[in-house]
Structure 1
């Protein structure tokens, strides 16, 4: 490695490292060479995937981002089927709120996003995958379990376990209250949480009520850990796949987007 570094320093006629006081640090030129080396490695990875496409064997790394709800429920089933069909593809999954995932697809740090908001960004292509009903979730025996459906004013009177800003479900719940003429300041927000599992745990422990995707609470409902009540009027979260509008998009990205657009509606029909 030392020989290769010396060769590079001779080639560029400059030092790439400062050595002294028992420490080795990159010079400004070294940082520049490092940045380009990382880009070259990334292009090499992309080249390998594209050559694989020419041989009809889909392979390579898929940088995929999903919302927390999709990651918790839909993603495992989706990836299982995709990996069985394309075993040489390596998914690298990032989980965040829908707004964060949207931004990372736009800045090209992710290839594909699975989110719960309807994007209006002109640089993005979106495909609607379906929708999921949102329910109020509470501990079994909670007074709201005796209601057929929960209105906004009833929900506003409860300690609310809310999602973090930027979360798709958070935006829908805020709109639900706004439509009923209830400002955010009038809500009794007891916590803002970025983790779906934390929301479910605290609701099951009786520390507040929350709104969650019906798909994400099936296990807890069957186990009797949570109870769920519909909203009045009903509220639904969209399921969307997003990717950049790019004529040079890889076949791997297009194939996964097409697969998600077919598979999630199929999974939904089996589970409801």
Structure 2
């Protein structure tokens, strides 16, 4: 309901980039540029200084941004209040999620939510857990689904469930016959790790350090942001990796990978986070509650299937 020009200006000012604002708003960059030009013509003054790939606010732009934040906040609250009175959830919800949750937990979660509330439009941004946490703390996202326990004061967290982390490797790998693996068992073998900021990378590093094995002794052969690529390299015998149990059940069933529990057991948390001080609409509250319930139920199903495959 708020002026679209203000929405676009707010996004550009917040992201410091026409390109990033366009991605956030699901618009083209020329459309963003046009909206900013229209707003500057309306006020008959320049609001943004552009130069050398950097955007900054003029003094007038600072004033307009302050009012834009208040206007957009009130607009969101109005939409939510009216929706609550009509007893029908609708509108967009901005969701951030880690790559593993996006691939293996989110599809069913969104499907069940959309069946209950068909007029809600989920807008999903996928990144690693640290990036998602930071964007929720900055109020760029309404809700986050992550695999780390957040300690940011600007974030409120709800623990939904947890999933086992397992060593994965090809059936022909020297580690494949083990029933349990300690940190010292892994030192001599090439390790396929994840990208910085990834929750499983952080948990793996904590696992080694807790066992007194410094990361300098670990033979890292690749750092990858894609779980699919991690699994492919592991299946091809390039090394071992550590992955969430939910992410590998199909690969285990098809015989592409072997999964071995760690000793001591290592778990990845499944957390739902929301901005602590942001106005909380019924839509955000309802989605958070739904996400917690669905993740809990799905984690129980994964554990049951894993038990059937001898990984309980």
User: Normalization by structure 1: what TM-score?
Assistant: 0.85
**Per the alignment, do residues 131 and 8 of structure 1 end up closer, same or farther by CA in structure 2, a change over 3 Å counting?**
closer
1:74 CA drift (Å): 0.6
2:222 counterpart of 1:188 = no
1:199-250 CA distance string (max 9 Å, x none): 1111111111100000011111111111111111111111111112237311
Question: Mapping of 1:83-98 within 5 angstroms?
Answer: 83-98=114-129
1:162-220 CA distance string (max 9 Å, x none): 01111111111001110111111111001111111111111111111100000011111
Q: Which of these two proteins has the greater Rg computed from alpha carbons?
A: 1
- The answer to whether the 8 Å contact 2:187/2:218 transfers is yes
Q: Which runs of 5+ in 1 are unaligned?
A: 18-26
Q: Which of structures 1 and 2 has the larger relative contact order (alpha carbons within 8 angstroms, sep 6+)? A: 1
**Per the alignment, do residues 175 and 15 of structure 1 end up closer, same or farther by CA in structure 2, a change over 3 Å counting?**
closer
SS at match of 1:234: coil
Give the Cα–Cα distance (whole angstroms) in 2 for the partners of residues 74 and 95 of structure 1.
13
Question: Mapping of 1:218-229 within 5 angstroms?
Answer: 218-229=249-260
Give the Cα–Cα distance (whole angstroms) in 1 for the partners of residues 40 and 209 of structure 2.
62
> Which residue number corresponds to residue 82 of structure 1?
113
From 132, 141, 147, give the equivalent of 2:178.
147
Q: Which runs of 5+ in 2 are unaligned?
A: 1-33, 48-56, 305-312
Give the Cα–Cα distance (whole angstroms) in 2 for the partners of residues 223 and 33 of structure 1.
60
SS at match of 2:124: strand
From 261, 285, 293, give the equivalent of 1:230.
261
> Which residue number corresponds to residue 202 of structure 1?
233
1:118 CA drift (Å): 0.8
Give the Cα–Cα distance (whole angstroms) in 2 for the partners of residues 152 and 33 of structure 1.
56
Q: Normalized per residue, which structure has more strand?
A: 1
From 70, 79, 89, give the equivalent of 1:58.
89
- The answer to whether the 8 Å contact 2:80/2:282 transfers is no
2:211 counterpart of 1:169 = no
Question: Mapping of 1:1-272 within 5 angstroms?
Answer: 9=41, 12=43, 14=44, 44=75, 47-246=78-277, 248-271=279-302, 272=304
- The answer to whether the 8 Å contact 2:166/2:243 transfers is yes
Q: Which runs of 4+ in 1 moved over 4 A?
A: 5-9, 27-46
- The answer to whether the 8 Å contact 1:53/1:59 transfers is no
Give the Cα–Cα distance (whole angstroms) in 1 for the partners of residues 251 and 38 of structure 2.
61
**Per the alignment, do residues 6 and 242 of structure 1 end up closer, same or farther by CA in structure 2, a change over 3 Å counting?**
closer
